[in-house]
Copies of this chain bind each other. A is one copy, B any other.
């Protein structure tokens, strides 16, 4: 069985978790304590020299790293149901929306970035939350701008079935929502997020539903 090394709060691990559920691929998840430095353990560094999550180990070769590369690999190994549209221009659009979330917004708010703000600039928790909300809001607004400009039939980001764009958008939204963010003024995102929340394959991957997450109440 495939082994996913992740962490309950990681947006990047969440992406892989959703994709595995959409593909119907069984896996077990191993939690790496990324807030406590577990990613620097030599055993984990041997799997992931960058010291980040996620890592996906299928036992058939070097472990797979980088969530978007893992999603593309899953798409190639398990083509059904497709997570990319059939035509090249549609795939370019979906990949671009995914990258706005996963490459332009999320890297600014990962634990190592937050830690560096504290270490280099003495940023306190409130300043770090403000920084994080700035980048997540900016990424979400950019996706909203694309969805508003290029209307595509169907409620998801690109048509009537989820793609890697929805996976990355919902994962970014999860981080935004945890810090109190709302989708006011972003009606297209609100529509997509509602579809994600209603889909058990997305909902079950939510950070607050993973082992180790704080319990409500």
Q: Which residues of A approach B to under 8 Å, CB–CB?
A: 45-46, 49-52, 61-62, 64-66, 68-70, 72-73, 76-77, 88-89, 91-93, 95-96, 98-100, 102-104, 107-108, 112-113, 116-117, 120-121, 123, 127, 130-131, 134, 138, 142, 145-146, 148-150
Of B96, B107, B123, B145, which is within 8 A of A121 by CB? Answer: B123
New A-B pairs, 11, CB < 8 Å, besides A66-B96, A103-B107, A121-B121:
A49-B145, A52-B104, A64-B92, A68-B99, A70-B92, A72-B91, A73-B88, A76-B88, A104-B107, A108-B113, A120-B130
Taken together as a complex, chains A and B put the C-alpha atoms of A143 and B50 apart, in Å, by 8
Partner of A92, one of B73, B120, B142, B146: B73
Q: With A and B bound together, what is the CA distance between A107 and B61 in angstroms?
A: 30
CB nearest to A148 among chain B residues: B49
Contacts of A98 in B (CB 8 A): 69
Q: Are B108 and A89 in contact (CB under 8 A)?
A: no
Main secondary structure of the interface of A (DSSP, over half): helix
A73 with B49, Cβ < 8 A, contacts A99-B66, A108-B113 known: no
Residues of B contacting A121 in the complex (Cβ-Cβ under 8 angstroms)? 117, 121, 123, 127
Offer 17 A-B interface pairs, CB within 8 angstroms, sorted by A: A49-B146, A50-B145, A51-B142, A61-B89, A64-B89, A66-B100, A68-B68, A69-B93, A72-B91, A73-B89, A73-B91, A73-B95, A76-B91, A77-B88, A112-B138, A120-B127, A120-B130
Residues in chain B near residue A72, CB distance under 8 A:
91-92, 95
The list of the 10 closest CB pairs from A to B, nearest first, reads A49-B145, A103-B103, A69-B95, A50-B142, A66-B96, A73-B92, A69-B96, A121-B121, A66-B99, A107-B107
